[in-house]
Amino acid sequence: MAKKRKVTDIATQRGTSVDDVLAHLKKAGIEVVDGEVSVDEEAIEKAYAAPAAGGGVRRRAGGPGGKRRRVIIDAGASRRGGGPQGGRDRRRGRGRGHDRDEQPQAPTIPQGIVKVPSGSTVKDVSQLLGVSTPEIIKALMGYGEMVTITQTLSDEAIEVIATDFHREIEITHAADEEAELEKEAVDDPKDLKPRPSVITVMGHVDHGKTSLLDAIRETEVAKGEAGGITQHIGAYQVKHNGQLITFIDTPGHAAFTAMRARGAKVTDIAAIVVAADDGVMPQTVEAIDHARAAQVPIVIVINKIDKPESNPDRLKQQLSEHGIIPEEWGGDTVFVEASAKQRIGLDNFLDMLLLVAEVGDLKANPEAPASGYVIESRIDPGRGVVATVLIDRGTLRVGDALVAGEASGRVRAMRDFKGEPLKSASPSTPVEIIGFDELPVAGEFSRVVKDERMARSLAQKRSNRIRTEALAKQRALTLGDVFARIAEGKVLDLNLVVKADVQGSLEALTDALLKIQHPEVKVRVIHSGVGGINESDVMLASASSAIIIGFNVRPSPAATSLAENEGVDVRTYRVIYKVTEDITAALVGMLKPTIEEVVLGQAEVRTTFKASKLGTIAGCMVTHGTVTRNASVRVLRNDVVVHDGKMGSLKRFAEDAREVAEGFECGILLDGFNDLKEGDVLEAYETREVAREA
């Protein structure tokens, strides 16, 4: 049996990159997913002996016939394109056996645009651009950057190097590669079958999106939601005139922009709900922009027409200002008037959706390997990671191996939107999947692969790539940064630990919190996660002086007890805008109060007395306001402040006085100041702290 070796080891021996070895294997018809896979030495020999590789394998002569001969790999042969070198012993390595005439070959200069992965090291860039590593290091030294051959470079540094060495490049990211995978799926027209349309319901908060779906599905979802506001995406299916329609309900609150964008991405038709009594609102305009960006047809649903103050014509006029022209006005946008509460116009709405879908001629290949998009993900205490996936192509079956970005796994169980178990799911079907090893990111492209091993390998590769990209984005700390941070020493931090029930809500809540800004207080989310509030969260909050925010989750009894002992503030919410209101209030409470000075009164020095044990006592007449015992005193001489301090004592005749009003005489002794003269004015004042507003 032939000996197997890892691709990474082979690349190290040959002095080349893992990608180079994988490329040669691919040309030889051998599919290998990454450098950790072991390959037969014979396969490597075959790959580099292929004509496309340019005869890069040389054999050492000698040895008895029939015996296995040692294979010597020439790292540069495949790039030089040379043929077999004969039977001379050209042993690589140290010692006298090394050929002195074998010189390092200059890197091959690439032609055209070169694709460079974000987060590439100096060595990777050298191989891709055909520039030696010393030249790259020297060029970066000229810009004041000291790098090593294995150091990750930022996108800006790669672009600078490419410009200096006259190379055309395109920097690729992990997200771009996923987008390429989505485009690669091309089906034979003969295999395409009609599929249900996917409708994303969007619009402003409280305009009746969920109530409209509730009326269509004849369920009571809206009553179960906090404040009647959709908190995370729900996917449902209904049957009308014998045809299935898939609905995706998106939140309308301002904080859920990213979730609306995801809904528009996977949809065929965008149904934008607008309340007839409220008109066009900011999230309505945003929903229109998302639908246009996704290049999907728009159907406008004018809801709440049963209300006396409803005005559909005014609404149409407002929408026309945003380029949404009704068909009756000569435009191409379908308008439907409805009332979710009174069940008016619902059949007409569904008829219009089927009509628009029919024009779109929606089809998919149910026999292809399944793929789709993650709509939502969460951690269920009893079932583990649960992800809602909308199937876009192919048929997903229980037991299939899945990969979605950095998450992978096998479909252990599958349920429909009613909670009924499924064995398979065809295109345009929303399903709840159990089996991912970690939470997939909402909106991530998910696909079926050969087996779990390949799924894990692809997920690990994606994870490494994202980690490398993140490393490339980190900027080194400069002296200027150090001074800036010292200058910002007065800036307070409001640390937060955020926990939510589902990934989409967590993402939206974190974004909303980070948008709360003030020049003197910074909001920092030091930890965020999906699931209940546990003891680890409380300990982190205690160590970081943080507040714990729970959204649709509760602390465990142990976490509650620990929070009480540690004095950690744990707050739980069910509606997102309540969180932002409370955090804004907390942020204002952290602001240093404004110090206001209030002048209480003035007293003129009429005469002075010397007391050996006390100092100079001023005999004064209060000319304005009131002079109090605990006030601060400012000594004015010809309107110039000559002293500012505290009052030692205040007397009226021989008795101590708490205050002396205007028009009365008094004796005043100042702490630490005796140079009082007739005609000086003593101004009594106090400072008060006034709470700041945002």
Question: Are residue 226 and residue 337 in the same domain, yes or no?
Answer: yes
Give the strands of the sheet with 269-275, arranged side by side: 234-240, 243-249, 197-203, 269-275, 298-303, 334-337
Q: Is the pLDDT of residue 192 over 90?
A: no
Report the candidate in 326, 319, 335 with the shortest Cα–Cα distance to residue 281: 319
Q: Residue 607's pLDDT is what?
A: 92
Provide the number of structural domains found in the chain: 6
Q: Is the pLDDT of residue 487 over 70?
A: no
Q: Residue 600's pLDDT is what?
A: 92
Question: Are residue 288 and residue 334 in the same domain, yes or no?
Answer: yes
Question: Are residue 249 and residue 294 in the same domain, yes or no?
Answer: yes
Q: Is the pLDDT of residue 682 over 90?
A: yes
Q: Which amino acid is at 146?
A: M
For 116, counting Cβ atoms within 10 Å of its Cβ (0-12 exposed, 13-18 middle, 19+ buried), the class is: buried
Q: 636: part of which helix (H) or strand (E)?
A: strand 632-637
Confidence class of residue 474 from pLDDT cuts 50, 70 and 90? low
Write down how long the chain is: 694
Q: Is the residue at 128 inside a domain?
A: yes
The least confident of 84-88, 150-154, 283-287, 431-435 is 84-88
Q: Which amino acid is at 226?
A: A
Q: Give the residue, 100 or 457, on which the prediction is more confident.
A: 457
Q: How many CA atoms lie within 13 A of 547 on its CB side?
A: 16
Question: Are residue 68 and residue 118 in the same domain, yes or no?
Answer: no
Question: Are residue 562 and residue 506 in the same domain, yes or no?
Answer: yes
Q: Residue 228's pLDDT is what?
A: 44
Q: Once rounded to an integer, what is the mean pLDDT over residues 305-317?
A: 84
Q: Is the residue at 94 inside a domain?
A: no
8 A C-beta contact, residue 249 and residue 217: no
Name, of 89-103, 107-121, 422-436, the range with top average pLDDT: 422-436
Report the candidate in 632, 664, 658 with the shortest Cα–Cα distance to residue 647: 632
Terminal CA-to-CA distance of the chain, rounded, Å?
A: 75
8 A C-beta contact, residue 257 and residue 273: no
Question: Are residue 496 and residue 581 in the same domain, yes or no?
Answer: yes
Question: Are residue 224 and residue 261 in the same domain, yes or no?
Answer: yes
Report the candidate in 604, 600, 599 with the shortest Cα–Cα distance to residue 621: 604
Q: Residue 683's pLDDT is what?
A: 93
Which CATH number does the domain housing residue 683 bear?
2.40.30.10
**What percent of the chain lies above the pLDDT cut of 90?**
9
Handedness of CA 140, 144, 149, 155 (dihedral sign): negative
Q: Is the residue at 540 inside a domain?
A: yes
Question: Are residue 586 and residue 600 in the same domain, yes or no?
Answer: no
Q: Is the pLDDT of residue 176 over 70?
A: no
Assigned token pair, 359? 């024009």
**What percent of the chain lies above the pLDDT cut of 70?**
78
Question: Are residue 307 and residue 382 in the same domain, yes or no?
Answer: no
Question: Are residue 582 and residue 611 in the same domain, yes or no?
Answer: no
Q: Give the residue, 273 or 95, on which the prediction is more confident.
A: 273
Question: Are residue 117 and residue 212 in the same domain, yes or no?
Answer: no
Q: Once rounded to an integer, what is the mean pLDDT over residues 222-234?
A: 45
Average pLDDT, the chain: 77
Q: Is the residue at 287 inside a domain?
A: yes
Q: In Å, what is the CA distance from 396 to each residue of 198, 236, 375, 413, 457?
A: 17, 18, 16, 11, 21
Q: Is the pLDDT of residue 98 over 50?
A: no
Q: Once rounded to an integer, what is the mean pLDDT over residues 36-50?
A: 72
**Strand ranges, E, within 266-348:** 269-275, 298-303, 334-337
Q: Residue 51's pLDDT is what?
A: 52
Query: Domain boundary at 448, 471, 494, which?
Result: 471
CA distance 472 to 478: 16
Query: Domain boundary at 305, 331, 355, which?
Result: 355
Provide the residue range defining the domain that includes 632.
594-690
Report the candidate in 167, 163, 157 with the shortest Cα–Cα distance to residue 129: 167
Q: Is the residue at 188 inside a domain?
A: no
pLDDT in tens, 627-661: 998 899 999 988 888 898 998 899 988 888 999 99
Query: Domain boundary at 291, 326, 355, which?
Result: 355
Q: Is the pLDDT of residue 483 over 90?
A: no
Q: Is the residue at 95 inside a domain?
A: no
pLDDT in tens, 294-304: 778 889 998 88
Q: Is the pLDDT of residue 27 over 70?
A: yes
Q: Give the residue, 194 or 11, on which the prediction is more confident.
A: 194
Q: Is the pLDDT of residue 498 over 80?
A: yes
The C-alpha angle with vertex 328 and arms to 324 and 332, in degrees rounded to 5, equals 45
Report the candidate in 533, 538, 542, 544 with the shortest Cα–Cα distance to residue 506: 533
Backbone angles phi, psi at 164, to 5 degrees: -60, -35
Q: In Å, what is the CA distance from 277 to each residue of 112, 304, 320, 531?
A: 58, 7, 17, 39
Confidence class of residue 256 from pLDDT cuts 50, 70 and 90? very low
| DSSP-assigned letters across all residues of 552-602 | S--B-HHHHHHHHHHT--EEEESSHHHHHHHHHHHHHHHSPPEEEEEEEEE
Which CATH number does the domain housing residue 325 bear?
3.40.50.300
Which CATH number does the domain housing residue 531 bear?
3.40.50.10050
Question: Are residue 497 and residue 608 in the same domain, yes or no?
Answer: no
Q: Is the residue at 361 inside a domain?
A: no
The C-alpha angle with vertex 180 and arms to 178 and 182, in degrees rounded to 5, equals 75
pLDDT in tens, 509-545: 888 888 887 766 778 888 888 888 888 888 888 877 7
Q: Is the residue at 186 inside a domain?
A: no
